[in-house]
């Protein structure tokens, strides 16, 4: 099993569609072959808590429209039933599905708009050439790939296994969440060696969300090329000004306590 993980590597986002133009971003994982997400640093602010998602719509299949491709970390088994939908709901950046047409997710809690990146999409391999990656947030759709592949290397390289499967006795599309969870067997057609984990940073301001406003869901649509392995929102943390207010309040409280003690 191969694994090369370069933690704390900063990638300069030069152009991410209409998104972050100059943000300095670092993606860190736990170093396992499943590349579990542990930290995202945006312009020096570290985030170690993430807002997860619940998949509500699923349509990923190959050109023959008869099966879906499942991507799992090398050496791990396939996922069946309800666990199958969890491959894009966990913090493993090596597990997901190949060939995106339509996906939608509800965030576990609303993602709040603050300065810079708010939501991250993760994809494996990162060599696709498609110019179609429509992202819908706050009722606004932006083609993030209009100028070409918008994903940026995270510095994490993994091995993985690509598996194919379909529910027995069904002819689809569309491939829904229910059909995904009905797959009872997966075959292993190929190994993925030294694959890059890449990311796309989304700024809610680009989607018309006011500062301090929030979104509760995200919809993705493509033409079958992108292999999505994760979607997370950044959990809200106090801004530096908020910290100053908190420390100020604490200091004022200590002064009052001291005064009362002296008066007593």
Q: Give per-residue pLDDT as tens, 189-200.
A: 899 999 999 999
Given its phi and psi angles, is residue 208 left (phi above 0), alpha (psi -120 to 50 degrees) or beta? left
Mean pLDDT over residues 102-111, rounded?
97
Query: What's the pTM?
Result: 0.82
Residue 10 has pLDDT above 90, yes or no: no
Q: How far apart are CA 29 and CA 38, in angstroms?
A: 5
Note the pLDDT of residue 167. 80
Going by the DSSP 8-state scheme, the letter that residue 264 receives in this structure is -
Say if residue 164's pLDDT is above 70: yes
pLDDT at 205: 98
Scan for tokens 């509500």, then name that residue: 56
**Burial degree of 133 (CB within 10 A; 0-12, 13-18, 19+):** buried
pLDDT band at 254 (very low <50, low <70, confident <90, very high): very low
- Top pLDDT among 175 and 148 is at 148
**Model confidence at 64: pLDDT above 90:** no
Q: Which residues sit opposite 158 in a β-bridge?
A: 3, 195
Q: Helix, strand, coil: what percent of the chain each, to 5?
A: 15, 45, 40
Residue 238 has what pLDDT?
56
In a 13 Å sphere around the CA of 132, the CA atoms on its Cβ side amount to 9
Q: How many domains does the chain have?
A: 1
Q: Give backbone dihedrals phi and psi of 148, rounded to 5 degrees, phi first.
A: 120, 180
Examine the pLDDT at 9 and tell me if it is beyond 80.
Answer: no
Over residues 112-137, mean pLDDT: 96
Give the C-alpha separation, 32 to 143, whole Å.
33
Residues in contact with 262: Cβ distance below 8 Å, sequence separation at least 6, in sequence order: none
Is the separation of the CB atoms in 92 and 35 below 8 Å? yes
Greater pLDDT, 172 or 235? 235
Distances (CA, A) of 143 to 51, 98, 105, 203, 208: 23, 19, 18, 14, 15
Determine the structural domain holding residue 37 and report its residue range.
Answer: 3-263
Label residues 29-60 b or e (16+ Cβ within 10 Å = b).
beeebbbbbebbbbeeeebeebbbbebeebbb
Phi, psi of 50 (to 5 degrees): -130, 150
- In three-state secondary structure terms, 70 is strand
Joined tokens for residue 103: 């996906």
């Amino acid at each position: 099993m191969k694994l090369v993980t370069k933690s704390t590597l900063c990638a300069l986002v030069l152009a991410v569609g209409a998104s972050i133009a100059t943000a300095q971003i670092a993606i860190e994982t736990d170093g396992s072959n499943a590349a579990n997400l542990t930290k995202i640093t945006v312009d020096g602010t570290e985030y170690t808590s993430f807002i997860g998602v619940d998949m509500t719509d699923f349509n990923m299949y190959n050109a023959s429209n008869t099966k879906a491709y499942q991507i799992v970390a090398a050496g791990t088994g396939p996922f069946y039933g309800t666990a199958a939908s969890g491959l894009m709901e966990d913090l493993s950046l090596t597990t997901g599905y190949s060939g995106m047409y339509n996906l939608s997710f509800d965030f576990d809690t609303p993602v709040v708009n603050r300065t810079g990146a708010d939501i991250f999409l993760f994809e494996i391999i990162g060599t696709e050439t498609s110019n179609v990656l429509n992202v819908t947030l706050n009722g606004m759709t932006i083609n993030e790939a209009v100028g070409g592949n918008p994903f940026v290397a995270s510095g994490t390289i993994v091995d993985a296994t690509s598996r194919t499967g379909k529910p027995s006795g069904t002819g689809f599309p569309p491939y829904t969440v229910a059909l995904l969870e009905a797959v009872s067997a997966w075959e292993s057609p190929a190994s993925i060696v030294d694959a890059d984990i890449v990311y796309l940073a989304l700024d809610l301001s680009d989607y018309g969300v006011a500062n301090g406003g929030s979104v509760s869901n995200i919809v993705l649509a493509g033409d079958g090329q992108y292999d999505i392995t994760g979607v997370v929102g950044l959990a809200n943390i106090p801004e530096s000004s908020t910290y100053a207010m908190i420390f100020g309040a604490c200091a004022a409280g200590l002064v009052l306590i001291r005064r009362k003690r002296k008066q007593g």
